[in-house]
Amino acid sequence: MDAGMDYFERLESETLKLYEIANEARSKGFDVELETEIPLAKDLAERVEGLVGPKGIAKRIKELEKDMSREEVAFEIAAEIASQESKETGAKLEAEKQAFADQGLRTALAILTEGVVAAPLEGISGVKIKSNSDGSKYVAVYFAGPIRSAGGTAAALSVLLGDKIRVATGLDIYKPTDDEIERYVEEVELYESEVTNLQYSPTPDEVRLAARSIPVEVSGEPTDQVEVSHRDLPRVETNNIRGGALLAMVEGVIQKSKKILKYAHTLKLDSWEFLAEYAKGVGSSKEEEGSQSDSEEIIEEIDDNIIDKDELFEHSKYAHDIIGGRPVLGYPSEKGGFRLRYGRSRNTGLATMGVHPATMELLEFLAVGTQLKIERPGKGNCVVPVDSIEGPTVKLKSGEVRRLDSIEDARKVKGKVVEILFLGDMLVAFGEFLRNNQPMLGACWCEEWWIETIRNSQKYQSFTDEEKEAFDLNSLQTKKLTVEEAFKITEEFNVPLHPEYTYYYNDISIKDLVDLSQWLDTRRDYLEKGYQNGEDLELDLSYQKRILEVMGLCHKMENKKVLIDRNHAYSLLKTINGDYSKYLADEYYKMKVVDIINENIDFEIKDKAPCYIGTRVGRPEKSKERLMRPAPHVLFPVGNNGGNRRLVAEAAKKKKIKVEFARRECTNPDCRLSSFQAICPHCGSPTVIGKSGQKDINLAHMLSKASNNVGVRKVDEVKGVIGLISEDKLPEPLEKGILRAKNGVFTFKEGTIRHDSTDLPLTHFIPKEIGVTVPKLLEMGYTKDCYGEDIVSEDQIIELKVQDIVVSDNCGEYLVGVANFVDDLLERYYGMERFYNVKDKSDLIGHLIAGLAPHTSAGVLGRIVGFTKALGCYAHPYFHSAKRRNCDSDEDSVLLLLDALINFSKSYLPSTRGGSMDAPLVLSTRIDPE
């Protein structure tokens, strides 16, 4: 392929080739449909049409997108679909109006949720036009449990959409009875007491206000077996709790009231002024999430929101519900925990945060992708190693205090550590605070901030361009300075002292400061004598040693003497240089130690750790094949005839068995043969689905025939299912199960093969890290590194393209089995050429996959570019966002694309509510951040 071809064109071209292969295989008529059942979608409009329809709506969406926001497009589409003219009359007219309203709401909700999540299909169980007691007509929206996947804002907007449809069709408002209002109040209380907690717990009066005032009926299907006392209401079809309705009303309309009121004003819907009554404390909840629409307001307020750690409210929720083996690593804002450090590495962001690899080695509980429950920002994260931040400080059995700057250091002293004094930094992106709508906290004093103070100093600003280039701030940031160099820069540029020679002074008390100063007074002569001679500072062992430990000042122990490196000794004696006794008076008790020190020296030091983050270990990282329980090779029913393992061969020993399934009937009147195929194997005519029911089958004959068809004699380990849970009750061909068993892979609920991994972000990679060669990179279209230089070495840093992914080693090994299965299927079952021809996982580099999150119904096209030993899947933040995910320990599936295109069928999806979630009903081929 042309190396200069545009990246997206390259992906789409390769995708179309796979579609051609899949359609050729399907055209042979061995499957339930004659072509692949996953439609392509380049953009939102095409995803919406592919997911919920109606046919042709993509064109109209694209027209409206030119002049409208996404929300405005959604509401306009809802109104247009719902208000279209009908040629029917009487009862058929009413039914068609309901169908139009239902379609309009689903399509609009799909637009709001980017055509990815399953909520438009599964979260809305229907829209009805019902009657008030005065005979007027109104709109009722029926919600189901999966509306949760849309998020609170989208759930609330779906209620607002119902009102837009009501206005567009000229219907009246919903006029609830007192019993119906009290029914909502009771349901909320029962849901929280008997089912689970809602994100926001409204008062009864708040529920009454919403139930009385929302202009459409918020109803739903029963989701739980809990019954209410307000029973047998004429307009409420169930006596059980309606979970979906409660999610839409409470976590949607009530919790997001401020936001919904803004939308109502923008869209000129005048029945929502009652939401203003929620203004005090109701519109924002414990779990209120930030949004892009709020970003500008948050940024404007950010300066006012920077607060000090002494003023922080200690969020201890993360430490509740502790599970054995998942310890608390730091209490809320407690000194010695993870120090908050703002920034982003190439492998952090999107709720993934960096810790030093030495910390991970030392704690042993943390690996790449491990979840931490955190105090702030947000509720949880994934941790990944970042070696450019500060590592942990430990105390050894010898009494030595040492900072560990590498994983090798940690391994050397691991068995000698008696106390971890400081866990090290946690690298947190600013966006985490913005997205979670949390106030900014004080930044730690670190090298990058020190560099910025120099950059903004008067002296540096007066430099010529040549002088600035010679001074080279970039290299200065990583340079190991001597203490004299650090003090010289502080004096010349009038900036605070370098972080290396600044200690955690605010972690000690004023009394500690006084005691430390008195201890140091015994060696004030050191700067004139010992330091000049290159000696370390030697102090008699005393209780003040503990103060040095808390401050994070490294030192050694020899012969009951405390030895401090000459560089740190110089800084300590220059900084702790005064009589601090007067500060023990009550009037100074609120002063911070750093402020006291600064009052007594002629240079400035900064608070090295204004904020610590409390954490506890959450769920472990994961990279494992997705299996049903028990895991089948084929969606073929064997009832209870296959034993505990559902073995097809075991069931076949009974020759004839009775199971429930449906056959396809030949449409040729002269043939009428029953089979499982889209084309009659006898006469070649099309077939149609027949009725399902209990049928006798000669499984031994079918298994023998399937075995002969694919040339595989070993069928002893092929596993089926007890029964089919799809609506059509159509089984998979046994041949597929035989070939899956041959290659050691298993099917999922809809015929695909999955591998799950923890989501991890990555924006840049080094080829040797992920096992990819330079020629292979060039073949895939990578030509320049991140500095614009030609790629010639495996050590260069390269920007990751937005739809390329790095999968785990065990994912790669499993996908080798999947690729071999697909090749066997093409060759032995469909009579076509093999496609993948892989021998090991490196042969998969450059091949296409689909990424799929479990709460969505749209796959995202991706390409494998390498492998990692980490138990996770690295991908660009755009890729994870396209799946509607962040990286706080979410787990998503990777599907080898050709397997999904050939083997996925909607006919296999469970018929239960939520059955179409976690299924590739559409494939997004292009991620467009615009």
- Domain final position from 393, 415, 444: 444
- pLDDT score at 5: 59
**CA 757 to CA 762: how far, in whole Å?**
14
Q: Are residues 11 and 88 in the same domain?
A: no
**CA 429 to CA 347: how far, in whole Å?**
11
**CA 674 to CA 662: how far, in whole Å?**
10
Q: Are residues 515 and 568 in the same domain?
A: yes
Please state, as a whole number, how many other Cβ atoms lie within 10 Å of the Cβ of residue 65: 16
Convert the pLDDT of each residue in 629-660 to its tens digit: 899 999 999 999 988 999 999 999 987 888 88
- pLDDT score at 429: 95
**CA 857 to CA 341: how far, in whole Å?**
37
**CA 542 to CA 516: how far, in whole Å?**
10
Please state, as a whole number, how many other Cβ atoms lie within 10 Å of the Cβ of residue 177: 13
Q: Could you tell me the two tokens for 506?
A: 């605010």
**CA 673 to CA 680: how far, in whole Å?**
7
**CA 789 to CA 530: how far, in whole Å?**
50
In the chain, what are the helix, strand and coil shares in percent, each to the nearest 5? 40, 20, 40
User: Does any domain span residue 200?
Assistant: yes
Q: Are residues 859 and 929 in the same domain?
A: yes
Q: Are residues 439 and 465 in the same domain?
A: no
Q: Could you tell me the two tokens for 277?
A: 């009554």
Q: What's the residue count for the chain?
A: 930
**CA 121 to CA 922: how far, in whole Å?**
13
Distance from chain centroid for Cα 219: 30
Residue matched to tokens 């020993």: 653
With 0-12 CB in 10 A as exposed, 13-18 as middle and 19+ as buried, what is 543? exposed
- pLDDT score at 91: 79
Nearest to 808 by CA among 894, 748, 896: 894
Q: Are residues 477 and 389 in the same domain?
A: no
Q: Could you tell me the two tokens for 438?
A: 């949390």
Convert the pLDDT of each residue in 382-416 to its tens digit: 999 999 999 999 999 999 999 999 999 999 999 99
User: Does any domain span residue 470?
Assistant: yes
User: Does any domain span residue 296?
Assistant: no
Domain span holding position 360: 309-444
- Domain final position from 392, 426, 444: 444
Q: Are residues 109 and 184 in the same domain?
A: yes
Residue matched to tokens 């789409």: 12
Q: Any bridge partners for residue 637, and if so which?
A: 721
Q: Could you tell me the two tokens for 206?
A: 């708040």
Q: What are phi and psi of 568, to 5 degrees?
A: -75, -30
Q: Are residues 339 and 267 in the same domain?
A: no
Q: Are residues 117 and 255 in the same domain?
A: yes
**CA 353 to CA 375: how far, in whole Å?**
13
Please state, as a whole number, how many other Cβ atoms lie within 10 Å of the Cβ of residue 655: 11
Q: Residue type at 124?
A: I
**CA 810 to CA 713: how far, in whole Å?**
28
Q: Could you tell me the two tokens for 198?
A: 């809602």
Distance from chain centroid for Cα 256: 22
CATH code of the domain in which 902 resides = 2.40.40.20
Q: Could you tell me the two tokens for 441?
A: 């906290």
Q: Are residues 537 and 422 in the same domain?
A: no
For residue 567, the surrounding DSSP H or E stretch is: helix 566-575
User: Does any domain span residue 287?
Assistant: no
Q: Are residues 180 and 227 in the same domain?
A: yes
- pLDDT score at 289: 39
Contacts of 807 (CB under 8 A, 6+ apart): 755, 757, 815, 864, 867, 868, 873, 874, 894
Q: Are residues 196 and 76 in the same domain?
A: yes
User: Does any domain span residue 737?
Assistant: no
Q: Is 349 left (phi over 0), alpha (psi -120 to 50) or beta?
A: left
For residue 705, the surrounding DSSP H or E stretch is: helix 699-710
Distance from chain centroid for Cα 635: 30
Please check whether residue 790 is in contact with residue 925, taking contact to mean a CB–CB distance below 8 angstroms.
no
**Nearest 10 degrees: CA dihedral of 708, 712, 716, 717?**
-130
User: Does any domain span residue 758?
Assistant: yes
- Give how many domains the chain has, as a whole number: 5
For residue 92, the surrounding DSSP H or E stretch is: helix 90-112
Range 197-203 contact pairs with CB under 8 angstroms and sequence separation of 24 or more:
198/246, 198/247, 198/250, 198/251, 199/152, 199/251, 199/255, 199/285, 199/286, 199/287, 200/250, 200/251, 200/254, 200/255, 200/282, 200/285, 200/286, 200/287, 202/250, 202/254, 202/282
User: Does any domain span residue 295?
Assistant: no
How far are the Cα atoms of 772, 808, 812, 814, 816 from residue 840, in angstroms, in the given order? 13, 14, 8, 10, 6
Contacts of 922 (CB under 8 A, 6+ apart): 38, 39, 40, 41, 46, 47, 50, 51, 115, 857, 858, 859
> Three-state DSSP class for 53?
coil
Rounded mean pLDDT for each run of 10 residues along the chain, 930 residues in total: 70 96 95 93 91 93 93 95 85 89 96 90 93 95 91 92 95 96 95 89 93 96 92 94 95 91 91 85 42 37 42 60 85 93 96 97 95 90 96 97 96 96 97 87 95 96 94 93 96 97 97 96 89 91 96 95 96 93 91 96 96 93 93 94 91 88 85 81 84 85 93 93 91 95 96 97 97 96 95 97 97 98 97 97 97 93 97 97 92 97 95 87 86
Nearest to 817 by CA among 901, 883, 747: 747
- pLDDT score at 930: 62
Give the per-residue SS3 of 640-651: CCCCCCCEHHHH
**CA 411 to CA 392: how far, in whole Å?**
13
Sheet holding 137-143, edge to edge: 124-131, 137-143, 217-220
The 8-class DSSP code of residue 251 comes to I
Q: Are residues 500 and 434 in the same domain?
A: no
| Pairing of β 380-385 and β 352-355 | parallel
- pLDDT score at 280: 58
User: Does any domain span residue 293?
Assistant: no
**CA 647 to CA 624: how far, in whole Å?**
23
Please state, as a whole number, how many other Cβ atoms lie within 10 Å of the Cβ of residue 110: 31
Q: What are phi and psi of 426, to 5 degrees?
A: -120, 115
Cis link prior to 54 (omega < 30° from 0)?
Answer: yes
Q: Any bridge partners for residue 687, and if so which?
A: 666
- Domain final position from 422, 444, 466: 444
- pLDDT score at 315: 62
Q: What are phi and psi of 590, to 5 degrees?
A: -85, -10
**CA 811 to CA 824: how far, in whole Å?**
20
**CA 730 to CA 909: how far, in whole Å?**
10
